[in-house]
Structure 1
Amino acid sequence: MAKVIVTGGRGFLGSHLVEHLTATGDEVITFDTDRHTDHPSPEGDRFVSGDVREKEQLAKVITDGVDTVYHLAAVVGVDNYLGRPLDVIDVNVVGTRNVLELAGEVGAKVVFASTSEVYGKNPDVPWREDAERVLGPTTADRWGYASSKALAEHYVFAFMRQYGVRASIIRYFNLYGPRQRPAFLVSRSLHRALRGIAPVVYDQGKQTRSFTYIEDAVQATALVGRSSVADGECFNIGGSEEISIRSVIELIIESTGLEADIADLDTGVSFGSAYQDLNRRVPDASKARSLLGWSATTPLQEGIERTTEWARSSPWWLARPDRAPE
């Protein structure tokens, strides 16, 4: 049994990871703010309220005897990129440095949750872990998230090389599944469809993505945390199927039985110049397959159907506000 800390453990990915780790026998301490009040508290974990930007608060949980810190705390989502850009940057940069410093002091391994956003708009897909980063202007808040996550990755590699901290980096590609707040493509579209409201696409929905069901992502995260072969490595964690955004919403309409047309909006009108969209986002996940034996196994249609079934039985989730702009 390992003693582990999960920062951001009451968020979407974090709550699922905490459930998995406690179920498999780890002693889990969840560290998060009090913002996430509707995610479950898995039996066996211990919750500590705090902010990763405050090192003295983190120091209460990252102590001697901790084996692994899963650092998932982040401010995510387009609504937050535009509405809380400073929080987005500070949580990623300041919070990650605090985690690394404290983990180094007690000899704990760090698993840092990064994002496919770090690749920016590199047109050469699928992206390998060593692919070039191609970003837009600093006037677009969308790139603040990508840049802050990339700087946090630089911190991780720097602490590994300069101080010998054990760490791994995971770049997730378009996670979805039960409990995700309705501000992302699958969750928001499903949230709308189940309330009889037409889902939205931007710019005809021709953009393509690869999606990863939450259970697959959790399995990969636990593997990285428990495997010494993952130390010092960065992994793309994502599905291999590339699909257009419009096609994803059509699957959601089929799953929910909605009788309504898709609402087609313009990105520039809805978000302004502070946001830029990407045409394609596709991972090369062969490294995770070869080193960890992991690959995404949940087909998108199955994942959407499972999420739809969960959502139908979760009135508290359907009552949540739809945050994304139109």
Structure 2
Amino acid sequence: MLNFHLPRKSSRILITGGMGFIGSHLTEALLNKDCHVTILDNLSTGSFENVQHLMGHPNLRFVVDNLTSEVVLDRLASECDTIIHLAAAVGVKLVVEDPARTIETNVMGTDAILQAALRYRVKVMIASTSEVYGKGIRFPFSEDDDVVLGSTANSRWGYAASKMVDEFLGLAYYRQKGLPVVIFRLFNTVGPRQTGHYGMVVPRLVQQAISGEQLTVYGDGQQSRCFCHVEDAVRAIIGLSECPEAVGQVFNIGSTEEVSILQLAQRVLKTVNQLDGDGLGSTDDIKFIPYAQAYAEGFEDMRRRVPNISKINQYIGWQPRATLDDILRDVVLSMLPDKLNVNAA
């Protein structure tokens, strides 16, 4: 294996997809650590609104372009110590409706990042997803578990497969070419600034509750998830980026507090009613929508998604701090002012 140098603490960070939900929180945290941050984002799902409060910061610059812009990416890679690669197709809605774009964005984007990083021996942090566990039946999911995916006729599994290719490619660059690469699998990550436009369940349910609408739950509502506060996820990503022993490894990042989607909807209603003194979200109606109506015929969902986080705890001592109640409170409070301002007008 080729030798490579790992900075003890990277100070020049390139974040792809940095104007997205997670990327904007990561940018803010790194700036607070006095890092110099460059964001590369094509604004396909990211937004300047997510980083508006950071505009004018002396250690931050924005580049609006695609990962496939070789000259731009080469220049940015040459100027950084670490690349945190978050740019990807996001959300079940986009994955199902535009599978070609999903696969191309994920695989070709990661390939471009790794090639550029290799030229300058830059450390790469690759964001993966809990979707790679597919139809896993062993709980909680551990990083070395076997994987079972569904039929290629179902576009849902194309997303999981594309992220698996990202992981295989990143680890191949590490093993074969000596490039320092770390893979982190994000489970359901939520918090302020997340939008429900791409199928994210928490902001969608919160917005429905605030608006006094019926809360829509897909399927029978018994499918369960573990929701991690974005600030906890950001702590994990930064911790892994600063851990030399993490190179060449795969890590789960997520909460272990499991909740069914039906229970989640009920807790969203309770939280909105507690925080909203004007009585918004007073409805207790929850409407069940079949998957075929919400997405497409033949759509498959994972019944449970629970991470084993013992590995990341062993390497950097990380575990989530925020409970689901903390998360819901933060999300509701971040979304309430806009609604109240509209009503006041």
TM-score (structure 2 length as normaliser): 0.89
> Structure 2 residue aligned with 1:56, among 59, 65, 71?
71
Equivalent-residue separation in structure 1 for 2:222 and 2:178 (angstroms): 45
Q: Any idea what the Cα deviations from partners look like across 1:281-310, whole Å, max 9, x if unmatched?
A: 100000011111000110001111011111
Residue pairs, 1:68-107, within 5 angstroms:
68-107=82-121
Larger radius of gyration: 2
C-alpha RMSD of the superposition: 1.8
Q: Which runs of 5+ in 2 are unaligned?
A: 1-9, 274-280
The alpha-carbon distance between structure 1 residues 21 and 142, as it changes in their structure 2 partners (threshold 3 A), is same
Residue in 1 that maps onto 2:327? 303
The alpha-carbon distance between structure 1 residues 5 and 317, as it changes in their structure 2 partners (threshold 3 A), is farther
Residue pairs, 1:176-215, within 5 angstroms:
176-182=190-196, 183-215=199-231
**Aligned partner letter, 1:48:** V
Equivalent-residue separation in structure 2 for 1:253 and 1:136 (angstroms): 34
Q: Any idea what the Cα deviations from partners look like across 1:191-213, whole Å, max 9, x if unmatched?
A: 11111112111222000111111
**Aligned partner letter, 1:145:** Y
Q: Does 1:20 align with 2:43?
A: no
Residue in 1 that maps onto 2:290? 266
Residue in 2 that maps onto 1:34? 43
Equivalent-residue separation in structure 1 for 2:155 and 2:176 (angstroms): 31
C-alpha displacement of 1:26: 0.5
C-alpha displacement of 1:54: 3.1
Residue in 1 that maps onto 2:272? 256
C-alpha displacement of 1:274: 5.3
C-alpha displacement of 1:172: 0.6
CA contact (8 A) 2:210 2:339 kept: no
The alpha-carbon distance between structure 1 residues 316 and 54, as it changes in their structure 2 partners (threshold 3 A), is farther
C-alpha displacement of 1:90: 1.0
Equivalent-residue separation in structure 1 for 2:342 and 2:237 (angstroms): 28
Residue in 1 that maps onto 2:312? 288
Percent identity between matched residues is 34
CA contact (8 A) 1:141 1:274 kept: no
Q: Does 1:144 align with 2:167?
A: no
C-alpha displacement of 1:315: 5.2
How many equivalent pairs are there?
318
The SS at the match of 1:313 is: helix
Equivalent-residue separation in structure 1 for 2:305 and 2:223 (angstroms): 8
CA contact (8 A) 1:54 1:95 kept: no
TM-score (structure 1 length as normaliser): 0.94
Residue in 2 that maps onto 1:324? none
Q: Which runs of 5+ in 1 are unaligned?
A: 320-326
Residue in 2 that maps onto 1:322? none
**Aligned partner letter, 1:54:** S
Equivalent-residue separation in structure 2 for 1:100 and 1:316 (angstroms): 45
CA contact (8 A) 1:5 1:62 kept: yes
